[in-house]
Structure 1
Amino acid sequence: MRQRITYLLPQGTSVDPSTIKLTDDGLDFDDLEAAAEERRITIGLTQLPEEIQTFLADFHELHIRIASVLNHPTFSPAVSRLPPGLHAFFTPRTPNADTGLCDGLRNILGERVKCSNSSESFSKPPILSERFAASSTYQFYNSPLDLAVVSQVLREGICGKFEEGSSLHTLCGVLAEAESAVNVDYDFDVISHAVTITILWPPVTREGTIRPRVAAKKLEAEDRLEVGILSPEKADEPEELSMGGYLTVIGEDERPNPTIFSFPSRHHPLPQHDKTTYTATFAPPTGLHPKLTLSLPASTLQPPKEDSCALHAYWTLPTALFIDRYQLSDPLFLASQNLIALRSLSGAQDLEAPDWAVKHPWGSAALFELATPNVTTTAEDGFWNITIPTHLRYVNSTLSIDGKTPLAIPWPTVFWACEAQEGLKMSTNPFDRVNLGYDGLFGPKTMFYHVPPNGEVEKLVELLWVPTLDVKNSGWVSFGTVLAVLLGFGWVCWRLVRGVGGSEKKEGEGKKEQCF
């Protein structure tokens, strides 16, 4: 088992090496609470329980990303974002074969997971670039609240199954603490024959309290543990990020080693002078056709590079809400919403099916290219507003509250996609993050400059109240339906009897006339 723990400090932060304390199996330093923490753990497949090995045998590759619903700040170079919720990208070992992914997710998240093991339950992300980046065959998405649920299940139901004091018990405890994390990634592929778990914690929680930190420590004596205490430095090239600080291999180095290094990166923060943020809200009244409005300050909405940059939004939607690709094929309508194009749409696209009859139970994923203001356009109240029209399906009323059912809709993630120079080796980045859904829709040399959400917003989710049947009064509906059917049936029978009687009377009168 290998661990790499990196403490990320804000740019300009200096660390006194005398405050770094080394032991035979760990490291601690005085400014631990002020740093964001990325912990990457690599476990050989044979070190995992047999049931997990059996589960992974179905996959050629499996990538699970769980993003927090809370609006955490991110520190360079760990700036990549996803809409909150659980995202799974995978390729089965055998093409078109069923996998145990849904069963595994139900063991953790319960029956609320909307999928079956059949490959038809998942969507296939399209390939938009001939020189595509890493892209798995299938995609799945689930609720924005999954990170808290996973941590609770691990803490209460799974960690106790491992022997106390064992490395797996300790690892399970670390994963259970991820409830306050920004995101948690699980990666597996048959080539590496290992599982990599990456957890990113923010320096401070949304409530303003410091997350209790545990000094970096080996899970087992023979483990390899690398610890970095780093902060951003000014890079020489725009495609690169630079980090400086101290690196230590626990048990091998007698003292922290000062370092500064640069590397090409596909994910970047906005330039330091650019303070652009965005908010996402549904314009009231939402009705059956909610419109999501993305608001960005018009004065600062400028591309991070002079050319070859376009603003995009990537959005994953539950089945109850869908996008009509035909509505977004009209250039005039797109221009009126400050949209350039719907670049990609995968998953549930049936325009008439109710929520419970959708072929792809999890929903859909959409990539939009957004228009930006220029010298001839005007912005309302200093903000550039972009509208994404959506449509609601009929949903099941079992969760209805006074005739309405709540839907948690995640915010989209917003970023600039810019063309990078040829020959850059992005994979040399020790913090590289791929298989995010949208990166596979661009070429491998694309750089993503992420626009952060407005810092005053606590949760990156919008609550929609969908009109449904009020179950408290559903008995009256059944009674009224039966009564209407009986009345209608009686009326039809009466009209039939009356019609037959009338025709017989006319026939009798005709015969009398013939006699005379």
Structure 2
Amino acid sequence: MRHRITFFHRNEHGIEPSSLEIRDRSISGPDLVAVREHRVTLALEELPAELQELLHEIHELHIRWGTPQAHDSLGPWNSRLPPGLHAFYTPQTASAADSTRLCAQLRAAFGDLDCSSPSESFTKLPTDRFSHSTAFQYFQPLDTLTNLAIYAEQNAVSLDLSYDTISHAVKITTRWPEQHQELLIDSHPDHRTEVGILTPDSPPHLEPHELGVTGLLTVLGDDTKPSPVLFSFPSRHKDAGSTFSAAYLSPLGLHPTLQLRINFREPPLQDSSCSLHAYLTLPRTIFADKYQLGDELFLSSKNLTALRYISQPVDLEAPDYAMKLWGSSVLLELRPPNIQEDSPWTAEIPLHLRYLSPAEGGYSSINVPWPAVFWACNTEEGTKFVSSPFDRANLGYDGLFGPRTLFWHVTPELEGRGDFNHQIRVPVLDLKKTQWVSTGTAAVVLVGFAYIIFKLASVYWRTGHGSQKLATKSEKKKQ
């Protein structure tokens, strides 16, 4: 097992190296204001037997969770996803996708998920476009990690779990937001534990797609004092330095419109090809109509450029309770604002609600996560994003772009209280009134059937078919 703990702080929140105390396999020092990341790497043989058997059926598995609570990004951790639980999966064989074991393990770890098997509950991803994409995707709104760990549920802002057959290792990464962090870490004799205290810097020859850092590194049990470091590494996700808000226009009805309001005017890179995007993960209770989003004139009126991707299939008529797929993911390119205009810039995304199961009171509530909004910029020819110690890939949308794409994320900003989930009240059939509906339906059917019989009988007797048959029989007897 390998354990890596990283504190990333702003320049003004640095601490003196002399204030750190290293004894045997522990390190301590004053509290510091920083983002904290823990990464644990486990070899396959270090896992429980049941989990080992499951992973033998899996070629690639990436689980991503993000909190719906507001938090700032810092350092190499600028990537964002719609809040909730995301799973990206490629089976070893086609038949493995029919197995229920993966969904059973997800339910055991994260609670009561609506997941039966990858072939039924996951959506397929377009692996023919770029080889770095997985084959299947699953999403479910999930506010907390109560079933996973109490400490993570209370404080963590994201959780990542990754496995692939090449490394034969599981990597679990948890991040906490920028706040006061206690600096007191002990390590196990059989585990390698590395502690880093880093801050942004600009090493010589820093490339535009790289992030430079400086700070202190310590390997507990090996080092007697922290080692100063200065290095750079590729950073595929960066902060665009702007914010956006999201809200549904009133009245909602059965066809709500999501409005995005963004407070910027210019793309992050002036000398590069950049396009603005919104990535949505929509539970199956709500969906986007790809045919409606295929009309260029309609898109232009909403400040949208094009529908770049929508997962398939998306049934436009089926009610929520008749579906097994988790929902759908949508990538929309937004039309960038005119830098000469001073008025607030907004884009509108039309969506549609499904019919839900009856409920008492005639209303049900659904949660729809905010989208991720970002600029996708092409880097120069020959740019290579080599392996980074902090790289975060397999986020769903990154598999829809080329390997040289740089993502500049727009930070979501709450305009009031709440979190990054929209709660929508949906009108449904009132359970208290369903008995009248069934009784009334039966009565209408019976009345209609009786009316049809009556009309047929009246026509039959009025046209004299009955008397004609009797007359024909008597004439035959006389002959």
TM above 0.5, yes or no, is yes
Check the 8 A contact 2:120/2:325 in 1, yes or no.
no
Task: Give TM-score, length-normalised by structure 2.
Answer: 0.91
2:455 alignment partner in structure 1: 495
What is the aligned-residue identity percentage? 44
Aligned AA (2:207): E
1:122 alignment partner in structure 2: 122
Say which of 238, 245, 266 aligns to 1:302.
266
Give how far 1:483 is off.
2.2
Check the 8 A contact 1:15/1:245 in 2, yes or no.
no
1:307-326 matches, cutoff 5 A: 307-326=272-291
Q: Distance in 2 between matches of 1:347 and 1:68?
A: 27
Check the 8 A contact 2:282/2:327 in 1, yes or no.
yes
Say which of 232, 246, 261 aligns to 1:262.
232
Aligned length, in residue pairs = 464
Check the 8 A contact 2:90/2:136 in 1, yes or no.
yes
Q: Distance in 1 between matches of 2:182 and 2:171?
A: 22
Give how far 1:320 is off.
1.4
Q: Which runs of 5+ in 2 are unaligned?
A: 472-479
Give how far 1:95 is off.
3.0
1:115-514 matches, cutoff 5 A: 115-117=115-117, 119-127=119-127, 129=129, 132=130, 134-145=132-143, 148=144, 151-155=145-149, 176-204=151-179, 213=182, 215-218=184-187, 220-234=188-202, 236-270=206-240, 274=241, 276-297=242-263, 300-306=264-270, 307-358=272-323, 361-375=325-339, 378=341, 382-397=343-358, 400-454=359-413, 456=415, 458-504=418-464
Give how far 1:11 is off.
4.0
Give how far 1:128 is off.
7.6
Give how far 1:491 is off.
2.4
Task: Give TM-score, length-normalised by structure 1.
Answer: 0.84
The secondary structure found in structure 2 opposite 1:462 is strand
More strand per residue: 1 or 2? Answer: 2
1:25 alignment partner in structure 2: 25
Give how far 1:368 is off.
0.9
Residues 39 and 375 of structure 1: is their aligned pair in 2 closer, same or farther, counting only changes over 3 Å? closer
The secondary structure found in structure 1 opposite 2:69 is coil
Check the 8 A contact 1:20/1:28 in 2, yes or no.
yes
Residues 455 and 354 of structure 1: is their aligned pair in 2 closer, same or farther, counting only changes over 3 Å? closer
The secondary structure found in structure 2 opposite 1:202 is strand
Q: Distance in 1 between matches of 2:79 and 2:432?
A: 45
Residues 421 and 199 of structure 1: is their aligned pair in 2 closer, same or farther, counting only changes over 3 Å? same
> Which digits, 9 at most, give the CA deviation of each residue in 1:268-306, with x for residues without a partner?
112xxx4x2001111111111111111012xx3311101
Aligned AA (1:388): I
Q: Distance in 1 between matches of 2:307 and 2:21?
A: 53
Q: Which runs of 5+ in 1 are unaligned?
A: 156-172, 205-209, 512-516
Give how far 1:154 is off.
3.5
Check the 8 A contact 1:178/1:201 in 2, yes or no.
no
Residues 128 and 12 of structure 1: is their aligned pair in 2 closer, same or farther, counting only changes over 3 Å? farther
- 1:102 aligned onto 2:103: yes
Check the 8 A contact 2:265/2:338 in 1, yes or no.
no
CA RMSD of aligned residues (A): 2.3
- Which shifted more, 194-203 or 252-261? 252-261
Q: Distance in 2 between matches of 1:392 and 1:345?
A: 17
> Which digits, 9 at most, give the CA deviation of each residue in 1:420-477, with x for residues without a partner?
1233332332110110011111111111011111155541110111111111222222
Check the 8 A contact 1:62/1:88 in 2, yes or no.
yes
> Which digits, 9 at most, give the CA deviation of each residue in 1:205-235, with x for residues without a partner?
xxxxx6x7572222x2221000011111246
1:9 alignment partner in structure 2: 9
Q: Distance in 2 between matches of 1:11 and 1:440?
A: 34
The secondary structure found in structure 1 opposite 2:458 is helix
1:80 alignment partner in structure 2: 79
The secondary structure found in structure 2 opposite 1:416 is strand
Give how far 1:331 is off.
1.1
Give how far 1:492 is off.
2.5
Give how far 1:480 is off.
1.8
Give how far 1:321 is off.
1.0
The secondary structure found in structure 2 opposite 1:313 is strand
Check the 8 A contact 1:133/1:439 in 2, yes or no.
no
Q: Distance in 1 between matches of 2:86 and 2:14?
A: 36
Residues 182 and 301 of structure 1: is their aligned pair in 2 closer, same or farther, counting only changes over 3 Å? farther
Q: Distance in 2 between matches of 1:177 and 1:351?
A: 38
The secondary structure found in structure 1 opposite 2:124 is coil
Give how far 1:251 is off.
1.0
Check the 8 A contact 1:178/1:199 in 2, yes or no.
no
